[in-house]
Structure 1
């Protein structure tokens, strides 16, 4: 059996390496994509183009603008006299926000009659990430200015507060977005490579006309599963380790847990994913159909991985549905080991879930491959 598996494995590797461009794309294409995403998300969101309509020109309004500029979030590129001009800039996407300071803002702010001035801040919601950042910065500066004015009225030190919050952020002290996005991208790419390499394996044999020849050989279904899976596992792990090294030493992504536990637990889910790829390959008529089926599955898994939207924020029925997808459990394991350094005592429920999913998917793949003998 070992000899038959080895012979079929060598044949699979020869077929793959006959197309060097494909190998380079599998190994370095995902590495390039991950590097670009890490580079793009590692930088903080600052210098957002902003327009100002200052109808006050008083001391308080100037102090407000100085405080906003000191945050580094805003880049006041436009100083306008009309809100109509500013609205047009938002519509054309030239600015993220427009701050309008009304007339008599300084006078009302310092009035002993308790008059409350109103600031208008229009945001471009087409980019919600930048808009949320700008809104949080604006609210913080405005609240600080209001606290200073109120403290001056009551004769209190503005630095004194009834509640002193002491916050501590763990596992991502600087709250970098890349600490979340890069591990998500790594997990998705690991699964995508294994799935796509496996999904074309049988479809390629069918296109070349060698599937019937392969089926009349003494190779059994289990042996074929192993031989067809190994190239996908090898290429997936090579690409995954390369991306991990670049993420760690190039972009400062921490690796706080055990490499052995990470690679061992990922192998469970990778085998499940490759089995899904073999099922897709078994039912596809050609390699194009197989790739389209694999792409559809990857896009579905991306939704349930929590990459774009946290699973906890989804409707309850979708949260329950996410548990049948291997990537949902793997991302919990991956982030836990990578960012938190957790051990087996924490991630064992997800590993058991991987075994449970594999107990359904792998026999299904064996059945589909066995069915090819009778077609």
Structure 2
């Protein structure tokens, strides 16, 4: 027969344990609220303010009117004007813009003669959802402007479109979702495994009581952190190679750029993930705390890094937060090398941001570990 008093006694004992473990209690109470607010603002499939790179070969009133129509919409915004059509494609290679607009020099001449003319749109197809949205937006705006021009142009003698938009999808012309998802999944897997592995390393030493033995040795905090990371670097390097091979064999995702560059930058990213794991390990007293803190970092990183939802659709404050997640930049690197085939010159910005974050994380981890030893 069940004894209510014994159940209440055990429950009371458990409440006391929960009160004593303040860190886990705070995480359990705050984390759901934090994730709800974060995901509620960040998770959005609406895409607006897509950046445009514009080449205006005509430089006339009509071409400027078309550019203004594109810029004044809620969906597209002119980011830069360039001097050559090739510069438009380079802007997409560097990831500065998602759409390139090329207005030919004969644009206004044909328009004033009542002849059909054209405008070319170069669209970054590495993200199929953004590419489809960009294609739809650009075509709608041009067709609307074309109708206005047709109604005002007395020289036009037929009902065909005055201005024809030609959309050229770059990097992923067939808009296969696997080519967009697989690079992101590779980065996500590597991040999650490395952080979870290292997050428990120092905590395990604390719980077993062996951390005191390490403190008694002449090992410095830097030597201990590097020593803890080193075995996992080789393990993570092996995982990187396996995921790239399986992505090619199973999903047919070819690496268009340099494999050596990808592996080198992948190793740098893995170092950042391992450093984050070490940091979580230094601020945790138990493996349960380490697990909670790991989840508190890993779950937002999935959403904020641009792995699933476009960062362009996020509010500015959420976009700002995403800039402090290494996976954000590694996703850019992965998709840049695998899908676009770009080199190190085009990836200087995400590489610099990633390196900066790594240095900050390692310094903070070492300083925190020194305090732990004290």
The TM-score normalised by the length of structure 2 is 0.55
Which of 316-325 and 295-304 deviates more? 316-325
1:79-123 per-residue CA deviation (whole Å, 9 max, x = no partner) reads xxxxxxxxxxxxxxxxxxxxxxxxxxxxxxxxxxxxxxxxxxxxx
Deviation at 1:372, TM superposition (A): 2.8
Deviation at 1:304, TM superposition (A): 1.3
2:309 paired residue number = 309
2:234 paired residue number = 234
2:177 paired residue number = 177
Q: 5+ unaligned residues in a row in structure 1: which ranges?
A: 1-128, 137-159
Q: Which has the larger radius of gyration?
A: 1
Deviation at 1:165, TM superposition (A): 4.7
RMSD: 2.5
Deviation at 1:261, TM superposition (A): 1.2
2:225 paired residue number = 225
1:251-283 per-residue CA deviation (whole Å, 9 max, x = no partner) reads 111201112211222222322221111111112
The yes-or-no answer on 1:293 pairing with 2:293 is: yes
| Separation in structure 1 between the aligned mates of residue 217 and residue 300 of structure 2, nearest angstrom | 36
| Separation in structure 1 between the aligned mates of residue 322 and residue 294 of structure 2, nearest angstrom | 18
Matches within 5 A, 1:1-375: 165-374=165-374
| Separation in structure 1 between the aligned mates of residue 196 and residue 232 of structure 2, nearest angstrom | 8
Q: Is the 8 A contact 1:215 1:372 kept in 2?
A: no
Deviation at 1:188, TM superposition (A): 0.8
Deviation at 1:335, TM superposition (A): 0.7
The TM-score normalised by the length of structure 1 is 0.55
Q: 5+ unaligned residues in a row in structure 2: which ranges?
A: 1-128, 137-159
| Separation in structure 2 between the aligned mates of residue 304 and residue 269 of structure 1, nearest angstrom | 17
Deviation at 1:167, TM superposition (A): 3.2
Q: Is the 8 A contact 1:190 1:237 kept in 2?
A: no
Query: How many equivalent pairs are there?
Result: 222
Structure 1 ranges of 4+ moved more than 6 A: none
| Separation in structure 1 between the aligned mates of residue 295 and residue 180 of structure 2, nearest angstrom | 23
1:342-373 per-residue CA deviation (whole Å, 9 max, x = no partner) reads 11111111111122212321111111222232
Q: Is the 8 A contact 2:198 2:229 kept in 1?
A: yes
| Separation in structure 1 between the aligned mates of residue 372 and residue 325 of structure 2, nearest angstrom | 26
